Chains A and B, each alone.
Chain A
């Protein structure tokens, strides 16, 4: 029971730190993210520095975790089981990329920006939730 609530606390802290990272890096601002995608125009490479740091930091701890049988407060490591590249992955990535480019918002920054109560952000999040549920009903979870 104690472990269960400790795991909720670490989840809360992780969300808080993840969000703080996006805010410190300026990745919560769609204009800055769109600037990265504007490769052939007024290119802003900031996102490369963010991901170029985040990926190796996570990679290091992920690699270290392989020596442990289980997480601190959980039963097992929920390693993603889906493997292989199929139409579903590719079409999903294409649709997501188009939507990302249109406004400059992906799910993480959109959720962090809820706190600003910006009308456009709230509209985007509402549409994102509708899209998530529509895809769930139409296609179901990936197997």
Chain B
């Protein structure tokens, strides 16, 4: 419980930093789309997303260098299921303009009705999916 609250505070604090310093929402879907925008157009306006992404990827090695060993990751799904899931997440987050970070953390923090709705819907869809899989498999 302590780890979850500390982790949550870091996530909220990081989102607050990007908002206060850059005026940007730390939503991963926006970061991915903005990175593509930067690649296409070389736009300076979108460079922040590339730096944010670099920071995200460096988080694990940096924590390990500081002596914190993250839990190992466990994925039991097959390759095909992983590909299907990645495609669904990629398409769905683009269409819905956000995911757990943009809608879930920042949108709900802004009390955006749209984001609260999106978060309830994707959580419900996730719960239904896992429940159906547990019943069938």
Within 8 A of A (CB), among B93-137: 93-97, 99-101, 103-114, 117-119, 121-131, 133-134
**Would you give the shortest CB distance from B89 to chain A, in whole angstroms?**
4
Contact B7 A92 (CB under 8 A): no
Instruction: Contacts A10-B17, A121-B73 given; indicate if A102 touches B88 (C-beta within 8 A).
Output: yes
How many residues of chain A get a CB closer than 8 Å to chain B's CBs? 114
Contact A15 B14 (CB under 8 A): yes
B interface: dominant SS: helix
Q: Among A19, A52, A61, A139, which residue has the most Cβ atoms of chain B within 10 A? A: A19
- A: residues with CB less than 8 A from B are 4, 6-32, 34, 37-41, 46-47, 49-62, 65, 68, 70-80, 82-85, 88-108, 110-116, 118, 120-121, 123-136, 139, 142
29 contacts between A and B (CB under 8 A): A11-B55, A14-B15, A19-B60, A21-B7, A21-B8, A38-B130, A41-B130, A51-B108, A53-B9, A65-B19, A74-B21, A74-B24, A78-B23, A80-B112, A92-B97, A93-B125, A94-B92, A95-B91, A96-B96, A97-B124, A99-B86, A102-B77, A102-B129, A106-B93, A115-B58, A115-B59, A118-B73, A123-B82, A124-B86
